[in-house]
Amino acid sequence: MASTYSFDVTTGVDMQEVDNAINQAQKEVAQRYDFKGSQAAVEFKRAEAVLEMVADSEFQMEQLFDVVQSKLIKRGIPVKNLDIGEIKQAGGNTVKREVKLKTELDGETAKKVSASLKAAKIKKVQASIQGEQVRVTSPSKDDLQEAIQHLRSEDFGVELQFGNFR
């Protein structure tokens, strides 16, 4: 039996679910009366984890974003993991917006997670940053459960996922 137990803290989104949500959003936009004859479109660039949206006006962009966001929520994609860009003017009387998906913990967020665990002063719980994840170790499973509860109560700007519990 292992003398220490651990789990990993990560974040991310299921790219296939994002793809499905965008396909549903495109179908809805094609059928909605308020988008008829407009250039409203959503494109999912999977390799860069970016959603590119184009619409005729800022109001229409807000409507398009609401459709996309509702489809993402229905598919279980955490909205906290969306980095929503500003609405910018594009050519031909259109506006565009980029929405980036946060697929991994950045260094700053990982440091916040680690510092939060140290500040909580849970007995014998140690956090170490390993690339794009934080490994939390302890000799007691109960202390690790307490650490998970503590991290769930905090807000780090992304949806945390806990896995690899050993």
Tens-digit pLDDT profile for the chain (166 aa)?
Answer: 457 888 888 888 888 999 999 999 999 988 988 888 888 889 999 889 899 999 988 889 899 999 999 999 999 888 888 888 888 888 878 899 999 998 888 888 888 888 888 888 888 888 888 888 888 888 888 888 888 888 888 888 888 888 887 8
- The total domain count for the chain is 2
Terminal C-alpha separation, the chain: 11
Q: Which residues pair with 163 in a beta bridge?
A: 8
Write the CB contacts of 3 (distance below 8 Å, at least 6 apart in sequence): 139
Taking only the tens place, the pLDDT of each residue in 25-71 is 999 988 988 888 888 889 999 889 899 999 988 889 899 999 999 99
Half-sphere exposure for 48 (CA within 13 Å, toward CB): 10
The domain boundary residue, chosen from 79, 101, 123: 101
pTM above threshold 0.85: no
The domain boundary residue, chosen from 60, 79, 101: 101
- Residue 97 sits in the same domain as residue 132: no
